[in-house]
Amino acid sequence: MGQLWNEHRLAFIALLIALVTFSLSAFVVPEEEQVVIVRTGEPIGTINTPGGNTNAGLKLRVPIIDKVVRIEKRLLDLEMNDEEVLSNDQQRLLVNAYARFRITDPVRMVERAGTTEGVRVALEPILNSVLRQELGRRTFQAMLTAERGSALANVRTNLDRQARQYGAEVVDVQIKRTDLPDAPLQSAFRRMESDREREARTIRAQGGRDARIIRA
């Protein structure tokens, strides 16, 4: 054994160095991920990006110098906490919404936001602001009708316009819940009941007039 080591020592050392170098250089890119290679702080290449040929699989990088930034290709969620919004008819609404987005320009994302979490941090206040503006143009009743879909489409368009600067595309915005705070909620219910009672009285009165006309 000692003789074998002495005779092939350099070959063994070279093989060991090659194995260590390969282990530091090799990395795997799954189908559901895209990768940006960053060297000395600057993106120098991408792997398995959306819209291109799949390049998933075993890849190599320059050890230590190159950094691998992994980014989901799948849809990502942007959750919004409950926010109080003032509607056009001066109703204070508690709104809980979310958006779904994906990264379409990974290099821009790395340059502008660093990570997908950085994109979320950047987009959350924009979602809040756009939602406030859009819902503020509509009444509470409108949020219970088909007009709600039009409002959300406008929110998605405006949010997507801002998301592009971070390399993201917003594909959907939905409201999970729209509530009135407790006191305004009771007041709104009373107004709705009053409106229904007034409408019922009007219908009964109209029916009575019609009946008198027929009898006459």
Do 132 and 156 sit in the same domain of this protein?
yes
Mean pLDDT of 29-45: 91
Does 215 score more than 60 pLDDT? no
Do 94 and 178 sit in the same domain of this protein?
yes
d(CA 156, CA 126): 11
Structural domain containing residue 56:
2-72
What are the tens digits of pLDDT across the range 49-80? 887 666 788 888 888 899 999 999 999 999 98
Mean pLDDT of 182-195: 54
One DSSP character per residue, 106-167 reads HHHHHHHTSSHHHHHHHHHHHHHHHHHHHHTTS-TGGGGSTHHHHHHHHHHHHHHHHHGGGT
What are the tens digits of pLDDT across the range 82-103? 888 888 888 888 888 999 999 9
Domain of residue 90, CATH code: 3.30.479.30
For residue 175, the cross-strand partners are 97
What are the tens digits of pLDDT across the range 124-147? 999 999 998 888 888 878 777 777
CB-based contact 138:151 (threshold 8 Å): yes
**What is the number of domains present in the chain?**
2
CB-based contact 108:122 (threshold 8 Å): no
Does the pTM of the predicted model rise above 0.85?
A: no
Residue that finishes a domain, picked among 72, 104, 129: 72
Helix residue spans in the chain (DSSP H): 2-25, 106-112, 116-135, 147-163, 182-215
Paired tokens of 206: 């109209």
